[in-house]
């Protein structure tokens, strides 16, 4: 039920040891997040224009790496919301090479709006956004 | 007289052969272009807001690679305008590791504006932009 | 008849203007080159181990940009050898968004070996390599 | 007493919202780790050749983001070992824009060797490595 982003690891994604240079894992995690938004009929432009947020800034990101990966390997990364707070939410990621778990990760994001004083502040997540994203990738 | 951008090559900039993954050379070329703009008191925001362009899109980029480079190597990349056309200009780059030329490159960019019909079209380069950029990095 | 590499442009591939940050185009060109090698049953490890080269270093890369592209856009990049020299060869690339040509590029590479004096020097391209790569993506 | 890696954020490091595309923060964290190794007279080649490890693979990485950053901003990222285990260690990072904390992060790495059965396994961290890295960036 999660959104899935697939990638084949490129030559340039690997370092001198022939394994993935790790910041690329976060690049693919973010790509999986974009796939989750897309599956929900959303993207960051829509979030700003339709829902009035100035963005959904990341406040935390982490990953655990269980196996190394190299160029030519194909990864399927699933993304699903794992927690809804009032003004923040978490998305969990799992990346598989066939049936082997290569890494798992988490992002925490905040719903941010511009206040009347022109500051940026957290605000309650609109139900329409939450429902759309939950439907796209909530349960596992 | 050119603008200079300095970089120390990172572990993650290299591939399995232990040499720079080449798209990074273009990333550093663009960073040298930003350094040239900065030296001229400009950046892409100012170009849009003060000079009314919608941007200065790249229409061509190329590089010749004369030596390989690896992590820890320090490169100094100079940038200077090599040609002014009516609506376009070229910037040349040379990257040195101490006195050795590692690569040289060229970018061609166009001065682009939004027309009354809401299309994007080339337009004459404003003298103020040309003079500022020439002063920052024109002669060698 | 060319090898084709497909990519959907990610949020993180674009700059503040919402268009592709151009070094990424070269990253995808290289990915198309890897796809061409793969279609020929080759990769850089095989080139070293089976054919005895120390690599096929890039000596030149260039691209012309005909249209801008943004996140969510799907590009199909074809790669085909356009010229065989004795010790070097060229690969040409064309990137399409549906039927629109977004950019076209060229890479020149050299067949490099380690000499008995432990230097790196160009050497004649083995017929087996040339035939395999030509079969994978030579004609258009 | 920590090692410090300094970076000026480039145009291409930012996304359509004009703020840093977050995987770049991990790229700079890793660059700070390389700076820490360098300050200790080490790098990944030396670790393999002198100390006999096959590598020090990352098993976990995380970061908390406290402020956004944009191109032209200068970040100073300090790196210091925060924990030594028998076969693993942690490195902590803090990134400042002048006196403002922009993000803080953590990496956990394992000392990995090749066993007589040709498998990869954790092994005790050599005292020479630990002492060198601690001297380069342990206390704050």
Q: Which of A21, A44, A64 sits opposite D59 (nearest CB)?
A: A64
DSSP secondary structure letters along chain D: --EEEEEEPPGGGB-TTSSB-THHHHHHHHHHHHHHHHHTT--HHHHHHTT--SB--EEEEEEEE-S---TT-EEEEEEEEEEE-SSEEEEEEEEEETTEEEEEEEEEEE-EEE-TTS-EEE-PPPHHHHHHHHHHH---
pLDDT of residue A132 exceeding 70, the answer is yes
pLDDT digits (tens, 9 = 90+) for D36-89: 999 999 988 899 999 989 999 999 999 999 999 999 999 999 999 999 999 999
The number of C-beta contacts closer than 8 angstroms across A and B is 26
Query: Which of D24, D33, D47, D58 should we substitute to test contact with A (largest number of A Cβ atoms within 10 Å)?
Result: D58
Question: Are the beta carbons of B60 and C64 closer than 8 angstroms?
Answer: yes
- Give the per-residue pLDDT at A44: 87
- What mean pLDDT do residues A116-136 have? 93
- What mean pLDDT do residues A70-97 have? 97
Of residues D102 and B136, more confidence is placed in D102
Question: Are the beta carbons of C137 and C80 closer than 8 angstroms?
Answer: yes
- Give the per-residue pLDDT at D139: 52
Distances (CA, A) of D82 to A62, B76, D37, D78, D130: 18, 34, 15, 12, 12
- Give the per-residue pLDDT at A82: 95
Phi-psi region of B72 (alpha: psi -120 to 50; beta: other; left: phi over 0): left
Nearest to C111 by CA among C96, C97, C98, C127: C127
- Give the per-residue pLDDT at D33: 97
- Give the per-residue pLDDT at C1: 65
- Give the per-residue pLDDT at C53: 94
- Give the per-residue pLDDT at C102: 98
The CA distance from D25 to D46, in Å, is 26
Residues of A in contact with B16 (CB under 8 A): 11, 14-18, 71
- What mean pLDDT do residues A106-127 have? 95
- Give the per-residue pLDDT at C56: 96
- What mean pLDDT do residues B33-58 have? 93
Q: What does the DSSP 8-state code read for residue C14?
A: B
pLDDT of residue A138 exceeding 70, the answer is no
To the nearest whole Å, the CA of D138 is away from the closest chain B CA by 22
Q: What does the DSSP 8-state code read for residue B18?
A: S
DSSP secondary structure letters along A37-101: HHHTT--HHHHHHTT--SB--EEEEEEEE-S---TT-EEEEEEEEEEE-SSEEEEEEEEEETTEE
pLDDT digits (tens, 9 = 90+) for C107-135: 999 999 999 998 899 999 999 999 999 99
Distances (CA, A) of D127 to B104, D34, D87: 45, 19, 11
- Give the per-residue pLDDT at C100: 98
Residues near B12 by Cβ (< 8 Å), separated by ≥ 6? A15, A21, A23, D27, D30, D31
CB contact under 8 A, A65 and D58: yes
CB contact under 8 A, B59 and C55: no
Question: Are the beta carbons of C111 and C87 closer than 8 angstroms?
Answer: yes
Rounded to the nearest angstrom, the gap between the alpha carbon of residue D69 and the centroid of all alpha carbons in its chain is 20
CB contact under 8 A, C18 and D18: no
- Give the per-residue pLDDT at C6: 97
- What mean pLDDT do residues B82-93 have? 97
* Lowest mean pLDDT across A42-46, A66-70, B67-71: A42-46
pLDDT of residue D1 exceeding 80, the answer is no
Of residues A139 and C26, more confidence is placed in C26
The CA distance from A52 to A46, in Å, is 9
Name all chains with 3 or more CB-CB pairs below 8 Å to chain D: A, B, C
To the nearest whole Å, the CA of D61 is away from the closest chain C CA by 20
- Give the per-residue pLDDT at A139: 52
The number of C-beta contacts closer than 8 angstroms across B and D is 32
Question: Are the beta carbons of B78 and B3 closer than 8 angstroms?
Answer: yes
Helix and strand numbers (H, E) in chain B are 3, 7
Q: What does the DSSP 8-state code read for residue B87?
A: S
Average pLDDT, chain B: 94
Tokens of C36: 């061409």
- Give the per-residue pLDDT at D2: 86
- Give the per-residue pLDDT at A45: 86
The CA distance from C42 to B18, in Å, is 20
| Burial (0-12, 13-18, 19+ Cβ within 10 Å), A93 | buried
Residues near B135 by Cβ (< 8 Å), separated by ≥ 6? B40
At B10, the pLDDT band (50, 70, 90 cuts) reads very high
Q: Which of A12, A30, A44 sits opposite C30 (nearest CB)?
A: A12
pLDDT digits (tens, 9 = 90+) for A13-35: 999 999 999 999 999 999 999 99
DSSP secondary structure letters along C96-112: EETTEEEEEEEEEEE-E
Beta-carbon count within 10 A of A10 CB: 21
Residue of chain B whose alpha carbon sits nearest to that of C64? B60
Q: Which of D22, D30, D59 sits opposite A58 (nearest CB)?
A: D22
pLDDT digits (tens, 9 = 90+) for C61-78: 999 999 999 999 999 999
- Give the per-residue pLDDT at B138: 63
Chain D contacts in chain A segment 68-127 (CB below 8 A): 68
């Amino acid at each position: 039920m999660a959104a899935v982003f697939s990638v084949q690891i490129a030559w340039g994604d690997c370092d001198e040891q022939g394994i993935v240079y790790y910041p690329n894992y976060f690049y693919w995690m973010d790509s999986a997040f974009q796939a989750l938004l897309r599956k929900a009929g959303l993207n960051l432009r829509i979030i700003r224009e339709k829902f009035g947020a100035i963005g959904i800034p990341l406040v935390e990101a982490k990953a655990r790496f269980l196996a190394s990966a190299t160029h030519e390997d194909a990864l399927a990364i699933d993304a699903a919301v794992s927690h809804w707070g009032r003004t923040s939410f978490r998305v969990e990621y799992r990346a598989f090479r066939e049936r082997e778990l290569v890494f798992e990760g988490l992002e925490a994001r905040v719903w941010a709006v511009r206040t009347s004083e022109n500051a940026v502040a957290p605000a309650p997540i609109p139900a329409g956004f939450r429902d759309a994203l939950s439907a796209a990738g909530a349960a596992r």
